[in-house]
Amino acid sequence: MTDETNKEGEGTASPKTDFPDRLSMDPRSPHFDQELLEKGVGIRFNGVEKVNVEEYCLSEGWIRIAAGKSRDRHGNPMTIKLKGKVEPFWYADQQKEG
């Protein structure tokens, strides 16, 4: 009985629990995780897939995206913080659907 429950819940609960609450592309950040990034993490923000996300936070509902080609004085991309619905996904899962 518990095996069946786990299989049913696997499709709905698994994707959300596989992702950390916060993930960054910057290697200097404490929220950087090379292994997850190599697996191919994608972000849907308010239903639209974004390709220029620098960092996200699920619990607070925001993403940081690069602001064009602008750079700060240290050479890092300038970012803008946008608030909304953040949905991480694996690129491998998206390829199976499409």
Residues 7-33: tens digit of each pLDDT? 333 333 344 458 999 999 999 999 999
C-beta of residue 49 within 8 angstroms of C-beta of residue 63:
no
Note the pLDDT of residue 91. 82
Region 53-69: mean pLDDT is 94
**Cα dist. 95→30, 57, 98 in Å?**
30, 24, 5
Region 65-92: mean pLDDT is 92
Question: Whole-angstrom Cα distance, residue 21 to residue 1?
Answer: 31
Helix, strand or coil for residue 60?
coil
Question: Whole-angstrom Cα distance, residue 56 to residue 65?
Answer: 9
C-beta of residue 23 within 8 angstroms of C-beta of residue 16:
no
